[in-house]
Amino acid sequence: MASAYYYRLPMKYLQLLRLQGLLCLPLATLVLSLVSLQTPANSPSSQPIDITLHICFFVQLVSTLANIDSDMIGTAIMLGVLLIGNLQIPGAIIRIMLSSFGLANLQHNKYEEKKLLGSMDAFYVLTLCQGTLYIVACICDLFSFFLRRSLARQSGLRGKRGARAVDLYYHCAYLKCMETGILTAGKEISLTSFAIESLSSGSRKKQLAGVLIVDSLLQQREELVSRIACSSKAVSSLSNMLGWTDAQDREIRLLAARVTAKLAAGLRVAAIPGMLQLVSSLLDAEDQLARGLNSAKDAGDDKSPGSAGIKPRRHDSYVSQHWQRMKERWTVPAEPPLTHQDSFPVLGMLILEKLASDPDNCAEIGRATDLISKISGFISYTSSSRAQQKAVVCSSLNLVRRLAITGGKVGALLRQELWEDPFLLDNLAGILEDSRSSIKAWEPAMDIIAKLALAEDARKEIGSNKLIIFKLMHAFLGRYGPTNMHYSQPLRLAAGEALGNLAIENTANCLIILEEPGYKLIKDLKDMLWHDKYRYVAATLLQNLCAHSRDKMQSLDAYEHLSCALPVVVENIMAVEGKQMETLIGLASQICNIIPECVVHSLESHLGVSAFVKKMVNALHANKKPSPEYPRMRRVIVELTISIIESHPCYTTIFIEGGMMEALSKIESIPSKVERYRIFLGNAGAVLESGLPLPNMVSRAKGLFDSATRTPELIIGHRLFIDDISLCCCNETYGTEAIFNQLGKKVESLR
């Protein structure tokens, strides 16, 4: 009966059905191709779809060659394929078929009224157009896959999560367009706007997509940091995500921590209530380390065929291999595996380190209950997992170093709280001693020791730990490895600064440093004065050693090295400014106090006393207002002047003619509180000056000038005096005692 009805159909309708049948198989093949491109190669549905696609290719080829009528086969395959994932397509096809059938039969019905016939015509045409437009829209939606994947690649999104995030953005943008109208201006929603708005959404799915997109975009566009930081809702939502401790929220919490770490430098803790407590909760998530890495492994196994590089199977045909390469090109790259840097404690300390770049945030960190002790507790090796523990230790060291170098009163309070932690010093010593530690961990540990040593009590206790002194000396002067090379410059500078600070106003520490076996300390420091990179730390340490361990240096026969170092010091004083100049003048003053006879040779043989005096006078005039960067500049110049005039009053005329008396008088009239300190961190003094007040030193220097001018016979004969002493200093056969004897004889002869 069906066949009889089939043959009674009008010829036009039969031709239409035949045309539809001929188009079914190619259309089904096209749809399958698009679905195959959207399906990852390792997806459960990937292989069935690819097999069906190959069958369609084969049927199309056979039907073409054998001229087989494939209408019904094509229709069945097409309906089956189109039912995959989208029921709108079969619904649209039914509309088209029914409207086509109605239009074909409309000319043979029994309706004779023209109005009714026109209405039926219009109805079927509208239904046909509606179904056709549905199919066109669905086909366009299938082809939008290429644009969505291209957007995901351009935005740096990876893996299934990245593809789903872009699909969600596409869906939201589509709904927005449907609500406002296609032609409405200014209603477009960008990917960035969608991500920021999604952070404060009530849907976990949208929040995950938003934080994933923001994390990816921040790696490419740093200007987004300020835009996101200005959104109080977005920042508040991100900080709240840090406290989500449920296992199902681990993924979004990790992404939120990564995004917050990138934003932290521009955030203010006071504006985000409870933020420090939420960040502190990341430090408590120690059990998340292993689980995070296990999920990373799973993520690495769940690879999309993009970044991992899909390798065609060995026995695949050329067409199949080519198709796999096309899929690789149009799929989103796989997510990179998580590392130990993505663990919650490491990210938490990274957030705190970025926050600590602002002094107000540092004050909040210092006031947070038990936060600093919790941070310092990570500075130890407690796990057998070397890579995991190394990441945690290094991040905690970097954070503590950032807190220790903070300037101002806030920094002083932070250093005091760090020092009061009973475990910190032991943990730092353990890091320097542990064989699992790397040079990367030594450097921040030594920086922390250097800053803590600015406090007098800390200097004493650190100096009593011989292990720390040994490790500092080894890093500063020692060698390592088969090539017997020195350590890296940053590490040596950190160790040198720590030793220099430990030697400040502490005779016991100076003796411990000098007595450390295996090093020729004074000789090595003298050699470092020739190198611009190490000159400052070497001069600082040598100055403190000369000031507080003169007798010990004499027993070590250090005078020869000091006499050789003085010409280098004097020469560099003329070439540098600022902090280096202050340190070198202070070192020259200490050497003059120890070996006064060497001053003559150094000044006369290299540059002349007049030029040297002019340099110091100009420095006094330039420092009428002492700088916190080098607060001792005027003091060390006065000290050096006193040392030279006391040992060689014959230079008095040159100093007076160079304007030193006028410069000293100005110092008396312009005292400064800055000069009460020898080291500043920020705008707060860190180490008090222990010597005589500067006005008293100026009075002493002026008194020496007055006393010298009342003995003109010494000034008249200063040229002959200088020549004789210079000759003595240049003669290697003369020892220190011989030089002093020569000096005494010359003074007696002049009188």
Q: Could you read off the pLDDT of 24-67 as tens digits, one per residue?
A: 556 555 555 555 555 554 455 455 555 555 555 555 555 554 55
CA-atom Rg of the chain in angstroms: 42
Query: What is the rounded CA–CA span in Å between residue 635 and residue 701?
Result: 11
SS (H, E, C) 521-561: HHHHHHHHCCCHHHHHHHHHHHHHHHHHCHHHHHHCCCHHH
3-state helix, strand, coil in the chain (%, to 5): 75, 0, 25
Residue 272 is classified by DSSP as S
Residue 312 is classified by DSSP as P
Quote the pLDDT of residue 119. Answer: 77
For residue 678, what is the enclosing H or E element?
Answer: strand 677-681
- Lowest-pLDDT range, 103-117, 179-193, 611-625? 103-117
Coil, helix or strand at residue 684: strand
Are 366 and 416 in contact, with CB atoms under 8 Å apart?
no
Quote the pLDDT of residue 127. Answer: 83
Q: Could you read off the pLDDT of 277-316 as tens digits, one per residue?
A: 999 999 988 645 445 444 444 444 444 434 444 444 444 5
Q: Of 403, 397, 504, 521, which is closest to residue 457 (Cα–Cα)?
A: 504
Are 209 and 164 in contact, with CB atoms under 8 Å apart?
yes
SS (H, E, C) 264-298: HHHCCHHHCCCHHHHHHHHHCCCCHHHHHHHHHHH
For residue 38, what is the enclosing H or E element?
Answer: helix 11-38
Query: What is the rounded CA–CA span in Å between residue 327 and residue 285?
Result: 40
Quote the pLDDT of residue 182. Answer: 61
Cα dihedral 632/635/637/639 (nearest 10): -130
Write the single-letter amino acid at 449: I
At which residue do the structure tokens 């090796």 appear?
381
pLDDT of 726 above 60? no
Q: Of 689, 686, 575, 703, which is closest to residue 632 (Cα–Cα)?
A: 689
Query: What is the rounded CA–CA span in Å between residue 168 and residue 187?
Result: 18
Mean pLDDT of the chain: 79
Are 455 and 415 in contact, with CB atoms under 8 Å apart?
yes
Confidence of residue 558 (pLDDT cuts 50, 70, 90): confident
Q: Could you read off the pLDDT of 385-424 as tens digits, one per residue?
A: 677 788 889 999 999 999 999 999 999 999 999 999 999 9
Q: Can you name the residues that pair with 687 across neighbouring β-strands?
A: 679
Query: What is the rounded CA–CA span in Å between residue 272 and residue 21?
Result: 65
Quote the pLDDT of residue 323. Answer: 60
Are 515 and 470 in contact, with CB atoms under 8 Å apart?
no
Residue 242 is classified by DSSP as T
pLDDT of 551 above 80? yes
Q: Could you tell me the two tokens for 15?
A: 């031709």
pTM here? Answer: 0.78
Write the single-letter amino acid at 402: R
CA 706 from chain centre, in angstroms, equals 59
Query: What is the rounded CA–CA span in Å between residue 687 and residue 175?
Result: 65
Q: Could you read off the pLDDT of 666-702 as tens digits, one per residue?
A: 988 888 899 999 999 988 889 999 888 999 999 999 9
